[in-house]
Structure 1
Amino acid sequence: QWTPQSPSVDEGHVREELADVLTYCIMMADALGVDMDDIVMGKLAKTKSKYPAEAVRDDFEEYEHRHLNARKTDDDAQSSPSK
């Protein structure tokens, strides 16, 4: 929805929406005592391992394959009873 091809994107409105989301995220992290740098770096490391650039760059089918397999694994883990 935010691509340059989108019809008449109001940059001012987009900036305000981003500010709202970022403010909410900062407030939520603060309320939960979460270090934002730690969670962002952790997520980037996880993404790097799931989708290594050399494997998925310019290969949407490979990315999609890895993404669907990751979702299947996540769904299986969530549906399994905890021990």
Structure 2
Amino acid sequence: MAPPGLLLATGQVLPVSSVHRLARTSTLVRIVMNADGQVLDMGRKVRLATPAQRRAIYARYATCWIDGCPLPATMCQIDHA
């Protein structure tokens, strides 16, 4: 039986005491992945895109990110990508 702890992707076990220390001193982010490792959900601290994120998206996309959609990026729902 393995000692209690968190099994890391490297195969090493992080002791429970280290997990507790990290939980007290870190910002935790929930990440949900499918079997292929694709991120399905990363949690969030804020519900909507920040003003800086919006400016970056508007700079990158002049129109909707969907091919063929003529709407300007400023009229699109950023979180739907």
TM-score, normalising length: structure 1: 0.25
**RCO comparison, higher one (Cα < 8 Å, 6+):** 2
Q: Which has the higher helix share?
A: 1
Max radius of gyration: which structure? 2
Q: Which has the higher strand share?
A: 2
TM-score, normalising length: structure 2: 0.25
